[in-house]
């Protein structure tokens, strides 16, 4: 068997589970890593010179070295200049073991790889006209034999050699040297002085254009900033550059973190499995997360670029300078960095809006994950394929855990804690325990119980009851916490939960005199408190309460829990209009919306007709007052008027009734549109002025409110309004307004709307066919259309020249949008949607296992549907399971879903 055959990812046997409890330090470490890449058409020769030494911390004096390697063709291997023969080593699954290895030695391996044939987009691969890499988590082993684990940190020097048709040759660190070679070839040598794990390695070779700027750090060092793109995209880089400079400044100001190399580079790549990658000094980005200009990019797109640029930049400290000991610690860098980027975005735009968006994401997607077969704590105990654990839980819930720590410690102590963490562990590969220990040491707080958030999965439930004693003027709040069983843990111990709160009286916030605690007039006006829950049941008594208050609980969503308190409609209306906490004002609007939808659902489920559905007058008035409230940020008005999504309604349901959810929500929206038509028209007209496009929070807010009004108005099936929508499509100068109008036309139930939609879709493609990212939006709007017959259209689009089954962005835009954001169609037609998805997954399983595995998510939720749907979904999972050569990625998700 050849080396290549040996390392093929065959899965005829059960893939192995890796456990956190089995962690062992590496036997060998790598002092320096010298790489040379000779890139030729069709193949690349990689020479790796490793300076190895036995790890003094290893428990036994190892005389073998097991290197990772996959899909490599070994050409030669020498140890301290002696060429090794097959008797000196052995191939295993994804490994190469050397025998009789000395205390220290130099190992030179020469291997051949085929980037052009690499469709997994992991390791070194080709995307359109360029070569690029993606190594996290375990892709470096597809480049050369190596100790591909994050606790092996080494100093890298990289030589890239290629034909001059690839003028740009990049790698990590600072450029040491470049020059010409024979045969129209040239080279560049890069040196990264910071030791790093292999997952942070990067290389790019291509014919790229770039924009350039510079940043002067807080200590006065000048850093060159470069963004590399295909020449056609050079006009779409400015927003990313501005975002980068803002991020660099913010990390200095808020965390005291200065950038450390002479140069910081970003490269935009069209074929990329996720958003972006924080390789040291050379971030590689999905084009969708760098490129932005008003004509092609929506406001959401602009914000995503800002957020992802910041996220990857912040990793330079939270991830690169201090990295993870093993992949179970992933949330150490991801949760923390998501928290950092969310706070950055909050500082750049509107804090409340950012929080509403973050919580919406968490409560729809992460809560669903926590309640499904793939539930895991933010620090998992085991995995089969680590790529499957780049999850909402590790990222978003992980960020909530950091947010709770920040809340519990307070601003100053939290900063002391992060300073200590960075100082103490700079240059090390550490654990989440180390992170919490630094925060505990710096603040003097005992965080022992808090650490349960790292090891217990599931979303805690908080039941709150209260009692007002008018005579004693005392108000008692009682909290009961519990947490549902998850696959690996049946019984949970109580969590340490910060509950930020206030009490509302008829005239607004009341002062808080918590029994046995000091009132806080020094740092605040004493109307806000953080209660700390640590027991299964706990009460708090407030004194000098002169009227029965309405509690404002979990302000700013201070903990990732499901809160239950029985609010009356009047309570919610009060909170929605008067709470000093913007987040809870929005939350009250959502509770009101939920209740209205549930009423309609009950009617529908009892066989009732929803046409002409009307809402109670007081509810209408509550929404009307939001529209008229001048104190509110327009973006908040837009969010308060948007009803809870179908995805959130599904997450909340015990058994998801897809049709009831869809039609009831639609009926409530129509009822609101009828009742508030004049207000919506007023708002639409007030904000529908063609102005120069700006990406400020205010401008984004106005567009978003206007487009929410439009979305309601279109439901009235009124010819004038539909034509206004079409006019917005035709005349807008920015993609936000164009897409908003196109979406409404495509979803319009009227024949006029449908006719206009057809023309607009044709016009749109004609106009934007050469802009791949814009075509993706065109695919997405069609795949998300809730009208019947969408599956047939999606299938037809698979054959359209605007689709490319090898490009992850296209797969997400068409296939994932249909299966994740179009429940009414995905679950229709006796399982046709399920079968369609399973077919796609089977096709992608070998081509790109990571993408195949991601696509599985909607099928993993099969237990939440009715028995007929369950049977059909399960049958598709079983069909996938029966496939030969299932990738580890797909195997893990399918087998856990069926377990
Ligand atoms: N660290 C990368 C994610 C890598 C995913 C590998 N399957 C991007 C990020 O979170 O910043
Ligand atoms: Zn990250």
Q: Which of 649, 657, 665, 778 is nearest to 712 (CA)?
A: 665
Cα–Cα distance, 848 to 810 (Å, whole number): 13
* Ligand 1 atom closest to 387 (CA): 7
Please indicate, yes or no, if residue 857 is contained in any of the structural domains: yes
What pLDDT, in 10s, does the model give residues 835-887? 999 999 999 999 999 999 999 999 999 999 999 999 999 999 999 999 999 99
Residue 6 has pLDDT above 80, yes or no: no
Cα–Cα distance, 659 to 870 (Å, whole number): 15
Contact 609, 580 (CB under 8 A): no
What pLDDT, in 10s, does the model give residues 259-305? 999 999 999 999 999 999 999 999 999 999 999 999 999 999 999 99
- Per the listing, tokens 């991020």 go with 247
Of the candidates 94, 138, 312, 646, the residue annotated as catalytic is 312
DSSP three-state, residue 728: helix
**Which two structure tokens, joined as six digits, stand for 276?**
């972006």
* Ligand 1 atom closest to 136 (CA): 6
At residue 692 the predicted structure's pLDDT band, cuts being 50, 70 and 90, is confident
At residue 690 the predicted structure's pLDDT band, cuts being 50, 70 and 90, is confident
For residue 362, the model assigns a pLDDT of 98
For the segment 29-58, the average pLDDT, to the nearest whole number, is 98
For residue 330, the model assigns a pLDDT of 99
Cα–Cα distance, 132 to 831 (Å, whole number): 39
**What ligand has the least distance to the C-alpha of 202?**
1
Which residue from 125, 198, 276 has its CB within 8 A of the most atoms of ligand 1, so it is best to mutate?
276
In a shared domain, residues 553 and 615: no
In a shared domain, residues 78 and 187: yes
- 135 Cα: distance to centroid of ligand 2 (angstroms): 13
How many helices and strands in the chain, by DSSP H and E?
32, 33
CATH (domain of 155): 2.60.40.1730
Please indicate, yes or no, if residue 600 is contained in any of the structural domains: yes
* Ligand 1 atom closest to 278 (CA): 11
Please indicate, yes or no, if residue 392 is contained in any of the structural domains: yes
In a shared domain, residues 596 and 702: yes
* Ligand 1 atom closest to 308 (CA): 11
In a shared domain, residues 839 and 817: yes
Q: Where are the alpha helices (DSSP H) in 349-390?
A: 351-361, 367-370
For the segment 153-177, the average pLDDT, to the nearest whole number, is 98
Which residue from 340, 389, 390, 394 has its CB within 8 A of the most atoms of ligand 1, so it is best to mutate?
390
Q: Which of 521, 628, 484, 507 is nearest to 574 (CA)?
A: 507
Please indicate, yes or no, if residue 309 is contained in any of the structural domains: no
Residue 657 DSSP one-character state: -
Residue 200 has pLDDT above 80, yes or no: yes
Q: Which of 280, 102, 112 is nearest to 190 (CA)?
A: 280
Please indicate, yes or no, if residue 228 is contained in any of the structural domains: no
For residue 390, the model assigns a pLDDT of 98
The kind and range of the H/E element at 789 are none
- Per the listing, tokens 């190594």 go with 135
At residue 520 the predicted structure's pLDDT band, cuts being 50, 70 and 90, is confident
In a shared domain, residues 476 and 576: no
In a shared domain, residues 512 and 445: no
What pLDDT, in 10s, does the model give residues 443-456? 999 999 999 999 99
Cα–Cα distance, 852 to 844 (Å, whole number): 5
- 276 Cα: distance to centroid of ligand 1 (angstroms): 7
List the residue whose alpha carbon is closest to atom 6 of ligand 1: 136
Contact 786, 825 (CB under 8 A): yes
Mean pLDDT taken over the chain: 97
257 burial type by CB count under 10 A (0-12 exposed, 13-18 middle, 19+ buried): buried
**What ligand has the least distance to the C-alpha of 853?**
1
- 159 Cα: distance to centroid of ligand 2 (angstroms): 27
Contact 878, 839 (CB under 8 A): no
For residue 8, the model assigns a pLDDT of 39
List the residue whose alpha carbon is closest to atom 2 of ligand 1: 277
* Ligand 1 atom closest to 315 (CA): 11
- Per the listing, tokens 């998801």 go with 656
User: Which of 176, 207, 238 represents a domain boundary (last residue)?
Assistant: 207
Q: Which of 92, 73, 68 is nearest to 3 (CA)?
A: 73
- Among residues of the chain, what percentage have pLDDT more than 90? 95
User: Which of 566, 583, 598 represents a domain boundary (last residue)?
Assistant: 566
Cα–Cα distance, 204 to 277 (Å, whole number): 13
For the segment 534-545, the average pLDDT, to the nearest whole number, is 98
- 887 Cα: distance to centroid of ligand 1 (angstroms): 20
CA distances to 126, 134, 152 from 43, rounded to whole Å, are 11, 17, 28
**What ligand has the least distance to the C-alpha of 135?**
1
What pLDDT, in 10s, does the model give residues 759-804? 999 999 999 999 999 999 999 999 999 999 999 999 999 999 999 9
List the residue whose alpha carbon is closest to atom 8 of ligand 1: 277
For residue 12, the model assigns a pLDDT of 52
- 188 Cα: distance to centroid of ligand 1 (angstroms): 27
For the segment 122-147, the average pLDDT, to the nearest whole number, is 98
- Please say whether the dihedral angle defined by the alpha carbons of residues 685, 688, 689 and 694, taken in this order, is positive or negative: positive
Q: Tell me the DSSP string of 226-280.
A: EEEE-GGGGGG-HHHHHHHHHHHHHHHHHH-----SSEEEEEEESS-SSSEE--T
List the residue whose alpha carbon is closest to atom 3 of ligand 1: 277
Please indicate, yes or no, if residue 855 is contained in any of the structural domains: yes
Please indicate, yes or no, if residue 555 is contained in any of the structural domains: yes
Residue 252 has pLDDT above 90, yes or no: yes
Give the pocket of ligand 1 (CB within 6 Å).
136-137, 274, 276-278, 311-312, 315, 334, 387, 390
The 3-state secondary structure of 293-324 reads: CCCCCCHHHHHHHHHHHHHHHHCCCECCCEEE
Cα–Cα distance, 479 to 456 (Å, whole number): 20
In a shared domain, residues 596 and 680: yes
Q: Which of 455, 468, 597 is nearest to 542 (CA)?
A: 468
Residues 6+ apart with CB under 8 A from 759: none
In a shared domain, residues 444 and 592: no
- 341 Cα: distance to centroid of ligand 2 (angstroms): 10
- 879 Cα: distance to centroid of ligand 1 (angstroms): 30
The 3-state secondary structure of 285-297 reads: EEHHHCCCCCCCC
Which residue from 122, 138, 196, 277 has its CB within 8 A of the most atoms of ligand 1, so it is best to mutate?
277
In a shared domain, residues 539 and 592: no
577 burial type by CB count under 10 A (0-12 exposed, 13-18 middle, 19+ buried): middle
**What ligand has the least distance to the C-alpha of 122?**
1
Residue 619 has pLDDT above 50, yes or no: yes
Residues listed for the chain: 899
- Per the listing, tokens 């880089």 go with 237
The kind and range of the H/E element at 533 are strand 529-533
At residue 19 the predicted structure's pLDDT band, cuts being 50, 70 and 90, is very high
Q: Which of 389, 382, 384, 269 is nearest to 334 (CA)?
A: 389
Regarding pTM above 0.75, the answer is yes
At residue 11 the predicted structure's pLDDT band, cuts being 50, 70 and 90, is very low
* Ligand 1 atom closest to 275 (CA): 8
For residue 60, the model assigns a pLDDT of 81
Cα–Cα distance, 67 to 730 (Å, whole number): 59
Please indicate, yes or no, if residue 329 is contained in any of the structural domains: yes
Q: For the CA atoms of the chain, what is the radius of gyration? A: 28
Residues 6+ apart with CB under 8 A from 335: 378, 394, 395, 397, 398, 399, 400, 401, 402
In a shared domain, residues 783 and 699: no
- Per the listing, tokens 């006719």 go with 755
Which residue from 135, 142, 274, 311 has its CB within 8 A of the most atoms of ligand 1, so it is best to mutate?
274
User: Which of 523, 539, 566 represents a domain boundary (last residue)?
Assistant: 566
Phi and psi torsions of 832, nearest 5°: -60, -35
* Full domain range(s) for residue 828: 770-898
CATH (domain of 775): 1.25.50.10
- 367 Cα: distance to centroid of ligand 2 (angstroms): 20
Residues 6+ apart with CB under 8 A from 844: 811, 851, 852, 855
List the residue whose alpha carbon is closest to atom 4 of ligand 1: 136
- Terminal alpha carbon distance of the chain: 35
Q: Tell me the DSSP string of 538-555.
A: EEEEEES--SPPEEEEST
At residue 621 the predicted structure's pLDDT band, cuts being 50, 70 and 90, is very high
Phi and psi torsions of 897, nearest 5°: -70, -35
In a shared domain, residues 582 and 547: no
List for the chain the helix, strand, coil content (%; round to 5). 45, 20, 35
In a shared domain, residues 54 and 69: yes
Query: Structural domain tally of the chain?
Result: 5
Residue 671 has pLDDT above 50, yes or no: yes
Residues 6+ apart with CB under 8 A from 355: 346, 556, 557, 582, 583
**What ligand has the least distance to the C-alpha of 309?**
1
474 is catalytic: no
Residue 9 has pLDDT above 60, yes or no: no
For residue 10, the model assigns a pLDDT of 46
For the segment 204-212, the average pLDDT, to the nearest whole number, is 98
Q: Tell me the DSSP string of 57-87.
A: T-SS----EEEE--S-EEEEEEETTEEP-GG
List the residue whose alpha carbon is closest to atom 7 of ligand 1: 387
**Which two structure tokens, joined as six digits, stand for 184?**
């129209």
Contact 744, 714 (CB under 8 A): yes
């Amino acid at each position: 068997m050849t080396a290549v055959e040996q390392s093929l990812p065959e899965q005829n046997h059960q893939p192995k589970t890796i456990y956190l409890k089995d962690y062992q330090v590496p036997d060998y470490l790598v002092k320096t890593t010298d790489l040379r890449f000779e890139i030729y058409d069709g193949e690349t020769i990689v020479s790796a010179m490793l300076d190895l030494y036995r790890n003094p911390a290893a428990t036994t004096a190892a005389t073998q070295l097991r290197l990772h390697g996959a899909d490599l063709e070994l050409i030669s291997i020498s140890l301290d200049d002696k060429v090794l023969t097959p008797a000196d080593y052995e191939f295993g699954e994804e490994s190469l073991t050397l025998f009789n290895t000395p205390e220290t030695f130099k190992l030179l391996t020469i291997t051949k790889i085929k980037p052009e044939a690499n469709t997994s987009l992991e390791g070194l691969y080709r995307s359109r006209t360029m070569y690029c890499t993606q190594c996290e988590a375990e892709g470096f082993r597809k480049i050369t034999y190596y100790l591909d684990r994050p606790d092996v940190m080494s100093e890298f020097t990289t030589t890239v050699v290629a034909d001059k048709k690839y003028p740009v040759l990049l790698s990590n660190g600072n450029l040491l040297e470049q020059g010409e070679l024979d045969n129209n070839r040239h080279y560049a040598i890069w040196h990264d002085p910071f030791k790093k794990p292999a997952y942070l390695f990067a290389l790019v070779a291509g014919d790229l254009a770039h924009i350039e700027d510079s940043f002067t750090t807080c200590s006065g060092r000048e850093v060159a900033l470069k963004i590399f793109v295909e020449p056609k995209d050079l006009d779409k880089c400015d927003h990313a550059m501005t975002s980068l400079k803002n991020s660099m400044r913010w990390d200095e100001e808020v965390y005291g973190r200065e950038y450390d190399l002479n140069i910081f580079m970003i490269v935009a790549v069209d074929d990329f499995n996720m958003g972006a990658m924080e390789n040291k000094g050379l971030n590689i980005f999905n084009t969708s997360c760098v490129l932005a200009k008003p004509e092609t990019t929506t406001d959401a797109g602009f914000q995503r670029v800002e957020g992802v640029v910041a996220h990857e930049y912040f990793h330079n400290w939270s991830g690169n300078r201090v990295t993870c000991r093993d992949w179970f610690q992933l949330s150490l860098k991801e949760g923390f960095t998501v928290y950092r980027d969310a706070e950055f975005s909050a500082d750049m735009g509107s804090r409340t809006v950012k929080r509403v968006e973050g919580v919406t994401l968490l409560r729809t997607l992460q809560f669903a994950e926590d309640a499904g077969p793939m539930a895991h704590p933010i620090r998992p105990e085991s995995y089969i394929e680590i790529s499957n654990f780049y999850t909402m839980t590790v990222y978003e819930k992980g960020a909530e855990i950091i947010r709770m720590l920040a809340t519990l410690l307070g601003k100053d102590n939290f900063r002391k804690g992060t300073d200590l963490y960075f100082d103490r562990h700079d240059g090390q590969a550490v654990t989440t325990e180390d992170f919490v220990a630094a925060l505990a040491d710096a603040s003097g707080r005992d965080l022992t119980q808090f650490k349960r958030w790292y090891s217990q999965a599931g979303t805690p439930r908080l039941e709150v009851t209260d009692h007002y004693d008018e005579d004693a003027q005392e108000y008692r709040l009682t909290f009961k916490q519990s947490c549902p069983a998850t696959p690996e843990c049946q019984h949970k111990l109580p969590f340490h939960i910060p509950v930020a709160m206030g009490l509302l009286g008829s005239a607004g916030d009341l002062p808080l005199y918590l029994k046995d605690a000091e009132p806080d007039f020094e740092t605040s006006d004493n109307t806000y408190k953080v209660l700390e829950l640590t027991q299964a049941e706990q009460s708090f008594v407030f004194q000098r309460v002169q009227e029965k208050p309405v509690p404002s609980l979990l302000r700013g969503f201070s903990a990732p829990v499901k809160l239950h308190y029985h609010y009356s409609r009047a309570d919610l209306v009060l909170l929605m209009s008067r709470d000093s906490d913007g987040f809870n004002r929005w939350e009250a609007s959502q509770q009101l919306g939920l209740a209205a939808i549930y009423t309609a659902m009950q009617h529908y489920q009892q066989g009732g007709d929803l046409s002409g559905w009307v809402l109670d007058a007081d509810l209408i008035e509550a929404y009307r007052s939001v529209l008229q409230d001048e104190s509110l940020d327009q973006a908040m008005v837009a969010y308060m008027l948007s009803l809870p999504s179908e995805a959130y309604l599904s997450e909340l349901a015990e058994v998801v009734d897809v049709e009831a959810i869809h039609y009831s929500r639609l009926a409530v929206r129509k009822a609101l549109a009828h009742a508030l038509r004049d207000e919506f028209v007023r708002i639409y007209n007030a904000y529908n002025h063609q102005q120069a496009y700006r990406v400020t929070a205010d401008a984004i807010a106005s567009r978003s409110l206007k487009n929410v009004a439009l979305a309601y108005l279109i439901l009235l099936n009124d010819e004038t309004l539909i034509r206004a929508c079409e006019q917005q499509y035709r005349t807008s100068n920015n993609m936000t307004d164009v897409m908003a109008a196109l979406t409404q036309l495509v979803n319009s139930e009227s024949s006029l709307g449908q006719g206009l939609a057809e023309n607009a879709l044709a016009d749109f493609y004609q106009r934007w066919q050469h802009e791949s990212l814009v075509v993706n939006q065109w695919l997405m709007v069609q795949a998300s259309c809730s009208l019947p017959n969408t599956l047939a259209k999606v299938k037809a689009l698979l054959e359209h020249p605007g689709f490319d089954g090898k490009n992850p962005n296209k797969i997400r835009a068409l296939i994932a949008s249909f299966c994740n954001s179009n429940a009414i169609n995905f679950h229709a037609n006796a399982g046709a949607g399920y079968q369609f998805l399973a077919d796609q997954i089977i096709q992608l399983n070998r081509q790109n296992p990571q993408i195949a595995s991601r696509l599985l998510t909607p099928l993993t939720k099969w237990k939440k549907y009715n028995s007929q749907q369950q049977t059909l979904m399960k049958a598709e999972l079983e069909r996938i399971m029966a496939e030969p050569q299932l990738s580890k990625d797909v195997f893990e998700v399918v087998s856990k879903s069926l377990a």
